[in-house]
A and B are shown apart, each in its own frame.
Chain A
């Protein structure tokens, strides 16, 4: 296999991708859980409002959470059964969210939407909103909102970069369900009224690039294996050479970016009339017996997933929801699959780094690797001394929290942690200032 060259962006880092662990494992459907804990907040924006009561009998793909507000999304039941509780639970990532707990009763029937009457743009957007589809790449921004931009768009970019190490679910989907992704992308492009579709795929997935090159009316851009290629701004820069200005969104440069997983959900909503009730995850890391790619029902507890994947090894020391660069470490295993999850990683002592931070030696490795070209060492020192005004001056709000700085830091400083604290404080300051 020849080495494919790919488009690059300046700076950025190279991370061992570790994808060999689960790269060749086909997607397996995991059986529905005994009890599903379905969160009402599986997206960015307002929590959905439960429309069921304790004791109700629900069917699979029945609406249980109604979206509330402009940026929100519907939530559907992922199993058939009885609602046994609606309560606030602190999950493994430390977030206190409202959960609807459903006990499985073993029925296998499910509710579907009616066929779409036509394929007009507004119909497609309405269907996407109804099906509760959000950005499944990890951000969880409601897709319908993304598809109703205020500016004129001309390009749809499908994000198949999957630059996070370990994760392989997008890759498996691309080689197993290429056709569904392609049709989903066509519907999405139609809803935006544009023709130009670009697939951005990292060059470490040559077979996926080959598959999508077959379709004549889409363009495939081969991207260098570089972290963080999956970041919207860098993906847009590599695919069509446009730079998203500071503080602006992709639609300001006429581009809409969607993840491949979202495209499958769109296709299911349009062709099979299915609401979003399951997602594909990578379960990987050296701490799990059988690394796998699995399709799980939303709300499946992480303990069931561990059991399904053969259990964990004894030397697991860290469990992560998401990728190792941007994912959240879990405090405990009371965690339940949400739409935004793209994987669960079980890392051992040898894989993680828990060295204590030492003094900054001013080596500027962080600044030389920052894909947003910020100067993390200054922002960090300002954040730690409480000088948030200066932290903002050095561009704290532009940080995408990709972790490139902390990855390379020889002094092992928690740069991302300090910068995100600064971001929160700056937001707080601004909110107080406005009052």
Chain B
């Protein structure tokens, strides 16, 4: 009976939500599944191979790092929180099928070891590991991957074209040679594995929003501002609005990468500023460089987050501004 039992002792509160980091990250994985499946359907088995390589190498590099930290297996299993799986999936989803298989392994290992674990593991990274991993691949293997599948500005048959041409013609004429429906569904669109099927990405986003894991307003701010600012920069060519939103990795980046908890500000106002700036930088750089820059804009803004957090702090309940001076 209770008299002889050792009671649990801890600080209040004694009841808590059932939600854990592991639950949240597992649900992000679930939300990513539709677009992974869509990618495998569009790009074939090699896409599946790339995804699995990315996930397995991300997972293994985390485990090995922890083993080197002299943690025992039990502890590693207890600490396992699906973040490495999410990172691996995202790295796999942001490469094209013309990439050699070993590139994703380099990307995942770089993302986990250098970007995440060396900074202290989950929650301590400065920038989103998956984004850093993707950019690592992008920059390192330019000599290997000669024909870049340019993020779905062009149809799959034009993949030999250089990206600049396709994006340039899009921004000048608003003519993508692809119907908007094709862009939305990802049918016959060239691009990275996970970013072509917008429908699947949006489904995943809605799933996360319904569970309350992300605030759906923030990705919408990012996407809409990108579209509007592209229109403004291209002489108010309103025909560009939808194609610029639906093309490239924008929706994938907005829903799954920019909303990463670790690298977003901590206040609502801070978040609005962060996502609005993301949209502006993204549109501006796209028009200026004629390149797909979603991952670069997120990487850049990730580094601005500590600054936003320093200056935007909540005011306590009942706060009144204290007069300066005396």
Determine which of A16, A314, A377, A398 lies in contact with B266 in the assembled complex, contact meaning CB atoms within 8 Å. A377
Contact A374 B14 (CB under 8 A): no
Determine which of A360, A367, A395, A412 lies in contact with B123 in the assembled complex, contact meaning CB atoms within 8 Å. A360
Nearest opposing residue in chain B for A302, CB measure: B2
What residues of chain B lie closer than 8 Å to A325, measured between beta carbons?
Answer: 12-15
Bound Cα distance from A375 to B16, whole angstroms: 19
CB distance from B209 to the nearest CB of A (A): 15
Q: Produce 1/0 per residue, A283-327, CB < 8 A to B.
A: 000010000000000000001001000011010111110001111
Contact B313 A361 (CB under 8 A): no
Bound Cα distance from A367 to B313, whole angstroms: 10
Contact segment of B154-162, B173-181, B195-203, B314-322? B314-322
Contact A317 B5 (CB under 8 A): yes
Contact A329 B268 (CB under 8 A): no
- Interface assignment of A352: CB less than 8 Å from any CB of chain B: yes
Contact segment of B19-27, B61-69, B225-233? B19-27
- Interface assignment of A30: CB less than 8 Å from any CB of chain B: no
Q: How many residues of A contact B (CB 8 A)?
A: 73
Bound Cα distance from A181 to B124, whole angstroms: 53
- Interface assignment of B238: CB less than 8 Å from any CB of chain A: no
- Interface assignment of A246: CB less than 8 Å from any CB of chain B: yes
What residues of chain A lie closer than 8 Å to B3, measured between beta carbons?
Answer: 303, 333
What residues of chain B lie closer than 8 Å to A165, measured between beta carbons?
Answer: 15
Contact B266 A407 (CB under 8 A): no
Determine which of A243, A394, A409 lies in contact with B318 in the assembled complex, contact meaning CB atoms within 8 Å. A243
- Interface assignment of A330: CB less than 8 Å from any CB of chain B: yes
User: A interface, by DSSP: helix, strand, loop or mixed?
Assistant: loop
Bound Cα distance from A420 to B2, whole angstroms: 29
- Interface assignment of A373: CB less than 8 Å from any CB of chain B: yes
Nearest opposing residue in chain B for A92, CB measure: B7
Bound Cα distance from A218 to B54, whole angstroms: 67
Interface residues of B in 9-61 (CB under 8 A from A): 9-21, 23-24
What residues of chain B lie closer than 8 Å to A411, measured between beta carbons?
Answer: 20-21, 123
Contact A351 B15 (CB under 8 A): yes
Contact B81 A358 (CB under 8 A): yes
Q: Produce 1/0 per residue, B101-140, CB < 8 A to A.
A: 0000000000000000000111110000000000000000
What residues of chain A lie closer than 8 Å to B262, measured between beta carbons?
Answer: 361-362
Contact B121 A359 (CB under 8 A): yes
What residues of chain A lie closer than 8 Å to B123, measured between beta carbons?
Answer: 359-362, 411
Contact A353 B15 (CB under 8 A): yes
CB distance from B57 to the nearest CB of A (A): 22
Nearest opposing residue in chain A for B9, CB measure: A329
Contact B13 A416 (CB under 8 A): yes
Bound Cα distance from A120 to B314, whole angstroms: 46
- Interface assignment of B236: CB less than 8 Å from any CB of chain A: no
CB distance from B125 to the nearest CB of A (A): 10
Q: How many A-B residue pairs have CB under 8 A?
A: 171
Q: Produce 1/0 per residue, B279-308, CB < 8 A to A.
A: 000000000000000000000000000000
Bound Cα distance from A165 to B10, whole angstroms: 18
- Interface assignment of A240: CB less than 8 Å from any CB of chain B: no
Contact B14 A318 (CB under 8 A): yes
How many interface residues does chain B have, given as a range? 35 or more
Q: Produce 1/0 per residue, B258-270, CB < 8 A to A.
A: 0001111111100
Contact A246 B316 (CB under 8 A): yes
What residues of chain A lie closer than 8 Å to B74, measured between beta carbons?
Answer: none
Nearest opposing residue in chain A for B25, CB measure: A361
Contact B266 A375 (CB under 8 A): yes
- Interface assignment of A417: CB less than 8 Å from any CB of chain B: yes
User: B interface, by DSSP: helix, strand, loop or mixed?
Assistant: loop
Known: A329-B9, A361-B21. A407 touches B15 (CB 8 A): yes
Contact A319 B2 (CB under 8 A): yes
CB distance from B259 to the nearest CB of A (A): 10
Contact A406 B8 (CB under 8 A): no
Determine which of B10, B16, B318 lies in contact with A233 in the assembled complex, contact meaning CB atoms within 8 Å. B318
What residues of chain B lie closer than 8 Å to A287, measured between beta carbons?
Answer: 2
- Interface assignment of B79: CB less than 8 Å from any CB of chain A: yes
Bound Cα distance from A48 to B23, whole angstroms: 51
Contact B13 A326 (CB under 8 A): yes
What residues of chain B lie closer than 8 Å to A398, measured between beta carbons?
Answer: 316-317
- Interface assignment of A15: CB less than 8 Å from any CB of chain B: yes
Bound Cα distance from A306 to B3, whole angstroms: 10
Interface residues of A in 402-420 (CB under 8 A from B): 403, 406-412, 414, 416-417, 420
- Interface assignment of A44: CB less than 8 Å from any CB of chain B: no
What residues of chain B lie closer than 8 Å to A347, measured between beta carbons?
Answer: 14-15
- Interface assignment of B217: CB less than 8 Å from any CB of chain A: no
Q: Produce 1/0 per residue, A338-360, CB < 8 A to B.
A: 00000001110001111110111
Known: A352-B14, A416-B11. A372 touches B317 (CB 8 A): yes
Contact A362 B12 (CB under 8 A): no
Determine which of A317, A356, A367 lies in contact with B8 in the assembled complex, contact meaning CB atoms within 8 Å. A317
Contact A359 B124 (CB under 8 A): yes
What residues of chain B lie closer than 8 Å to A356, measured between beta carbons?
Answer: 78
- Interface assignment of B77: CB less than 8 Å from any CB of chain A: no
- Interface assignment of A82: CB less than 8 Å from any CB of chain B: no
Contact A373 B16 (CB under 8 A): no
- Interface assignment of B144: CB less than 8 Å from any CB of chain A: no
What residues of chain B lie closer than 8 Å to A318, measured between beta carbons?
Answer: 7-10, 14
Bound Cα distance from A377 to B313, whole angstroms: 12
What residues of chain A lie closer than 8 Å to B10, measured between beta carbons?
Answer: 318, 329, 354, 414, 417
Bound Cα distance from A139 to B80, whole angstroms: 41
Determine which of A316, A326, A327, A373 lies in contact with B317 in the assembled complex, contact meaning CB atoms within 8 Å. A373
Contact A15 B7 (CB under 8 A): no
Contact A403 B124 (CB under 8 A): no
Bound Cα distance from A371 to B262, whole angstroms: 23
What residues of chain A lie closer than 8 Å to B78, measured between beta carbons?
Answer: 356
Determine which of B14, B81, B318 lies in contact with A244 in the assembled complex, contact meaning CB atoms within 8 Å. B318
6 A-B interface contacts by CB (under 8 A): A320-B14, A327-B14, A353-B16, A362-B264, A364-B264, A410-B20
Binding site for B on A (CB under 8 A): 15-16, 165, 233-234, 237, 243-246, 248, 287, 303, 306, 311-312, 314, 316-320, 324-333, 345-347, 351-356, 358-364, 367-368, 370-375, 377, 394-395, 398, 401, 403, 406-412, 414, 416-417, 420
Extra 11 A-B pairs, beta carbons < 8 Å, given A360-B123, A363-B261: A15-B15, A318-B8, A332-B7, A353-B14, A358-B21, A358-B79, A361-B21, A363-B24, A367-B267, A374-B314, A408-B16
Interface pairs A-B: 3 shortest CB-CB: A403-B13, A417-B11, A359-B123
